[in-house]
Every structure is written in C-alpha cells, then in structure tokens.
A and B are shown apart, each in its own frame.
Chain A
Amino acid sequence: MSNIPEKFRYATSHEWISIDGGTGTVGISDHAQHELSDVVYVDLPKVGAKIAAGAVVAVVESVKAASDIYSPVSGEVVEVNTALVKNPELVNKDPYGAAWLFRLKLSDPAEIDALKDAAAYTAQIGD
C-alpha cells in the first residue's frame, strides 16, 4: 500500500505538488517510485526554464527504462534538487522529502484546482 500524504495534490501521471505561496515543489509519488524501482539517474530541468502544465520536464531512469516526468502546472523553474544527481536512489527512499525534483513559480495558480487530492489519487491507483 502506497503512502499518499493528504497535504499534496497529485497529477494523473503520478507527480505530487506542494504549494507554498506562489511556488510549487514537485516530486513523484511513492506509488510511482515503487513502480519504477531502483532509480539510477535523474535528468532535471534548467533553472529559468518556462514550462507548460503537462509538458515533459524531467526524466527518471530505473534499471529497466527511462520515464518522463510531467509538470503538473505551468510556471518557471526556480530551483532544482541537485542532490539527486549524485544520489538518485533518494527517489526510492524519500519520494516526498529529500527527493523533491524541482520548484517552480506558478504562472496560473488556478491550475492547482484541476489536480487530484489524496483521496482521488488513491482511487486512481486503486490502493
């Protein structure tokens, strides 16, 4: 059974976002890290990149395959988690904490409303 914190919102494509004022922090869900298993490499976006909701923004690679990570909302990347470059396995160990992927300044905070809450995401993955 996956851990799905109440405090986040979730994209259907398994990213979580935590909102603090006009900034969002994005990572992948516990369910997603479990499905990927053994993360060995993370490709992060560039700070300053402007991304649209639903666009590919990062890549997480497991032993088996490379998986695209989509931005749940639109905005400008203001910070990336460079710790993941050296320690990609953090994605498996602490997906909601140390393994956040990037932060972005939201260009349209209303987009948050279109994302799932914990209950809806739980229902989606059938946990």
Chain B
Amino acid sequence: MTVIDPATLKKTALFAAHQKLGARLVDFGGWNMPVQYTGIMEEHKAVREAAGVFDISHMGEFFVSGAGAKVFLNGLLTNDVSKLSEGQGQYTLMLNEDAGGVIDDLIIYRLLEDSYFLVVNASKIDEDRAWIENELENPEGAGVIFSDRSSLYSAVALQGPKALQIARALLGASWPEPKRNEITAYSWNCQEILAARTGYTGEDGIELFFANEIAENFFFALLGAGKPFGLKPCGLGARDTLRLEACLPLNGNDLSDKRTPLEAGLGFFVSLTKDAAFPGKEVLQRQKSEGVKEKLVAFRLKEQGPPPRPHYALFQGAERIGEVTSGAPSPTLGYGIGLAYVRADQAQSGTTLDLEVRGNRVPVEVVKKPFYKRAI
C-alpha cells in the first residue's frame, strides 16, 4: 500500500463534513476524497433504488463569456455549441490537434445569451485552463472573457430515482426544476445555487453548484431533507461502479490523449458537419472515412470469476486483440463487467474473447452498451 501524506492533498469545502460522517478518505488525483462512507455496495444500491449524494467539488468550474464566446467555444469543442438555447447543456470534448485525442470530456451549459459554464474533470483543471488560455490567443479569442472559478465553487451530485423529490423537499415548490440536460439558477439562503439535470450514474438526478461558503450547510441540509427518502452520502467508489454500469467513460481510463472520441464510441458528441474547425477535426474526418482500427467495447464475464481490472489483456485465441480500460464487479448485475479497446473486427456484440487474469484465461462476451439502463 502506498502511503501518501494526507497533508499534501487538496481538500474540498466538504472535507470536514466527510470526516464527521465517518468517510474513508483516499488520494484521488491529488484530492483527499471519500471513497466510501459505509460501503460501496450499499451506496451503489442506494443510488439505484433511492438516492445518493456525492461531493464533486473537486471538479472544475470555468466560465466563458462575451459576444464572441459562442464562436470561440465552437472552435474549441467537438459538439455544436450553437445548438444550445439558454439554460441548456451538452456533453462535449476537447481534443488535441495532432491525434484528435481527448484532452478532456466536459459538460457545457449556456447560462445566458453570451455566457457559458463548463464543468471539467478535477485532474484536468490546470491542463484545460492552459489549453483554453492558449486558444484565446487566436483571433477568435478577441473579446472573450475566460475565468477559472474552480477553487471558489463547491458541487454535489444528487442522483437516484428519488433525487428530484429530495431537491423539491429542500428547495421548495418555487424551485425551477431543470429538465433533462437543462440548468437553472435559484437562491438558497440568499446564495445562488445552479442546478443541472445531469449526472454520472445512469440515474435521474441533478448536479448542484454553489459557493464554498455554504457548502457544508447545504450538504447537511440536503442530507436532512433526503433522510425520509433513503438518501445516503456516497463516495467515489460507488460513483465509479455506477458510471461503469451506465458505460459513461472516465477520462484517464477509457479516454486519453491517444484515443479519439470515434474510437471511444462518442461520435454522437462530435459535430463534423459544423463549420468551426476545432482541434482534431481533420484527424477525425480522416478516421471517419477510413474507419477506426480499435473500438471501446463493453464486455461481461460469461461465468462467475475474477472481476476485470484496467490493463488486463484480451485475447482471441493466441492473439492479443485488446486491453481493459475500466473493470469491476457490477453490484447491480452480480458479475464482472468492463470496458476495453479491442480490434474493430472483434468489437461486435456477441463476440467471445478471453480475458487474461493472473496468467489464467477467463471467457468474456462483448455486449451492447450500456450494462444498465434505468426504466423511464
């Protein structure tokens, strides 16, 4: 076990709250974050059956505004920003120029006519900011105002079939409930709360953004309001198994600067038809016409056995044809599941492959994504 001095880790404004709740805190990309409170299985189940709340304050909050913001962002991101009305959000990606590889995946919300809010991965805040600041040097950046307010904002994800009921119980009847992928602003104790109908668990729910000053009060108020509904504080352990069941990619595992969104199966979030020439567009256009050589697939163990883990190899007979990027035992399904990049000719669902685990071969089957889809 690697021992890291917790004093060197960054803390969110909810750190003391996690300690009070008896969380197990671990190093997560330089942040001291709760991996679990009572247990990953239990927390996972709470989100699938009732609701869970996650501290996601480590994530980055960027704001981009000005008359040229839309054009600038359309030349930076893969999805078509011009499709967003005020109050709407979309999943999108930021790519490097040479490989069309993923720098980061993020959600962009259009708050007002010329005002955009970007939520980026915690481990990528510095890299994303540097990339955006560099892009601002281009002519499209003239008159665009960018600010990284990550250190000023806290955030929680309230997820699960009871999430909206809990939010209404806390925020009251006049709270403007956002619809899917929408974001609304509201005031709680005279402080602004942004609420987006988005998440990373495969369940309905919202993500709430607010100033650090009110983080602990708001978090405990939310837990109190959610108690009658079975709300549980949940750690990053359950967040990972939940997102894996829903086949939501994790940057650093399933996405990297060497993998394009087309290989990752995220073509839906890439607009090759928009006029804007975002970094990586040419590589993706070429890749689209030539076809991808490898694809990110979902696979499951065919029988009881060891759970897949990142970097395990996949074989077709004697030939190594892929590598696992995410894997875990699925708490909902009860068997091992994973995501892996495999050679395109082996990516068809129903294909049987061998997973190598500690020198042994375990049969797995490529399946359709996602593993878990909530009933609507």
Q: Is the CB–CB distance between A64 and B237 below 8 Å?
A: yes
When C-beta atoms are compared, the residue in chain B nearest to A68 turns out to be B358
Q: Known: A37-B36, A37-B40, A38-B41. Contact between A65 and B241, CB under 8 A?
A: no
Which of B110-118, B266-274, B303-311 participates in binding chain A?
B303-311
Chain B 79-123 near chain A by CB (<8 Å), digits 1 or 0? 000000000000000000000000000000000000000000000
Nearest CB on B from A88, distance (A): 10
Q: Known: A63-B329, A64-B35, A65-B309. Contact between A43 and B40, CB under 8 A?
A: no
Q: Is the CB–CB distance between A63 and B237 below 8 Å?
A: yes
Dominant SS at the A interface? strand
Name A38's contact: one of B40, B240, B305, B358 (CB within 8 Å): B40
Q: Which residues of chain A are near B36, meaning CB under 8 Å?
A: 37
> What are the 7 tightest A-B residue pairs by CB atom distance, in nearest-first order?
A40-B329, A63-B40, A38-B41, A41-B306, A37-B39, A38-B40, A64-B237
Q: Known: A40-B329, A43-B358, A59-B358. Contact between A66 and B40, CB under 8 A?
A: no
A37 to B23, CA, bound (A): 13
Q: Which residues of chain A are near B370, meaning CB under 8 Å?
A: none
Within 8 A of B (CB), among A14-38: 37-38
Chain A 58-91 near chain B by CB (<8 Å), digits 1 or 0? 0101111110000000000000000000000000
Q: Is the CB–CB distance between A40 and B358 below 8 Å?
A: no
When C-beta atoms are compared, the residue in chain A nearest to B329 turns out to be A40
Dominant SS at the B interface? mixed
A13 to B305, CA, bound (A): 25
Q: Is the CB–CB distance between A63 and B241 below 8 Å?
A: yes
Nearest CB on B from A94, distance (A): 17
Q: Is the CB–CB distance between B358 and A63 below 8 Å?
A: no
Q: Which residues of chain B are near A37, meaning CB under 8 Å?
A: 36, 39-40
Q: Which residues of chain B are near A61, meaning CB under 8 Å?
A: 306-307, 329
* A residues in contact (CB < 8 Å) with B: 37-38, 40-41, 43, 59, 61-66
A61 to B40, CA, bound (A): 13
Nearest CB on A from B186, distance (A): 35
Q: Is the CB–CB distance between B305 and A63 below 8 Å?
A: no
Q: Is the CB–CB distance between B309 and A41 below 8 Å?
A: no
Q: Is the CB–CB distance between B306 and A66 below 8 Å?
A: yes
Q: Which residues of chain B are near A43, meaning CB under 8 Å?
A: 306, 358
B328 at the interface (CB under 8 A from A): yes
Nearest CB on A from B327, distance (A): 10
Within 8 A of A (CB), among B334-368: 358
* B residues in contact (CB < 8 Å) with A: 35-36, 39-41, 237, 240-241, 305-307, 309, 328-329, 331, 358
When C-beta atoms are compared, the residue in chain A nearest to B38 turns out to be A37
Nearest CB on B from A84, distance (A): 12
A-B pairs with beta carbons under 8 A, tally: 36
A62 to B329, CA, bound (A): 8
Q: Is the CB–CB distance between B331 and A63 below 8 Å?
A: yes
A62 to B237, CA, bound (A): 11
When C-beta atoms are compared, the residue in chain B nearest to A92 turns out to be B39
Q: Which residues of chain B are near A65, meaning CB under 8 Å?
A: 309
Q: Is the CB–CB distance between A63 and B41 below 8 Å?
A: yes
A62 to B240, CA, bound (A): 13
A37 to B331, CA, bound (A): 13
A40 to B306, CA, bound (A): 8
When C-beta atoms are compared, the residue in chain A nearest to B306 turns out to be A41
Q: Which residues of chain B are near A63, meaning CB under 8 Å?
A: 40-41, 237, 241, 328-329, 331
A116 to B328, CA, bound (A): 34
Q: Is the CB–CB distance between B39 and A38 below 8 Å?
A: yes
Q: Could you jot down 5 A-B contacts, CB within 8 Å?
A: A40-B307, A40-B329, A59-B306, A61-B306, A63-B241
A13 to B199, CA, bound (A): 38
Q: Which residues of chain A are near B237, meaning CB under 8 Å?
A: 63-64
Q: Which residues of chain B are near A64, meaning CB under 8 Å?
A: 35, 40, 237, 240, 328
Q: Is the CB–CB distance between A41 and B358 below 8 Å?
A: no
When C-beta atoms are compared, the residue in chain A nearest to B44 turns out to be A63
Q: Is the CB–CB distance between A66 and B39 below 8 Å?
A: no
Most chain A beta carbons < 10 A, residue from B39, B237, B328, B329: B329
Most chain B beta carbons < 10 A, residue from A59, A62, A64, A65: A64
